[in-house]
Amino acid sequence: MTLGYLVVVLVLAFVVAEASMVYLARRSLAAECDGAAVAAAQSVDAARTYGQADPGTTLALAGVQAVVARYRRSPHSVLDAAVEGGDTVVVTGRRDVDLPLLGYLSVGSVTVSASARARSHVLLSTAG
């Protein structure tokens, strides 16, 4: 009977450890997306943005993607950036989390995802 309880406790400990790994990976990815979105929204290329025919109306997608690529903190993360509405940076990320303890049961890995938005303080043109 004691051996049975010990097995149940060990299985529960393994499940809690694996769930904690997934949770912490998701939180880490969300923080990475938040930081990348803020960094990209704050890195306005003034010459390009304000030098347009209608100044201050849009962020350059290439510049935003370059900042997000440089910001990536984990080699296991994949971050994608987009510009929405001309002044909002949207960063979506995903990461595979290996589950070493449950890998023996053919569970393999779990993919976690997160996204973040940050609005730039680009001065929009009021001419119209």
Among 82, 85, 89, CA closest to 57: 85
Q: Which residue has the tokens 């997934």?
A: 22
CA dist., res. 24 & res. 38, Å (int): 21
| pLDDT at residue 123 in the model | 53
Residue 45 pLDDT greater than 90, yes or no: no
One-letter amino acid of 110: V
**Mean pLDDT, the chain, whole residue set:** 83
More confident residue, 10 or 56: 10
The CB-based long-range contact list for 44-47 (8 Å cut-off, 24+ gap) reads 44/120, 44/122
Mean pLDDT confidence for 91-116? 85
Mean pLDDT confidence for 27-51? 83
Which pLDDT tens digit goes with each residue over 104-126? 776 778 899 999 999 887 655 55
Which pLDDT tens digit goes with each residue over 46-74? 666 566 555 555 777 888 888 998 988 88
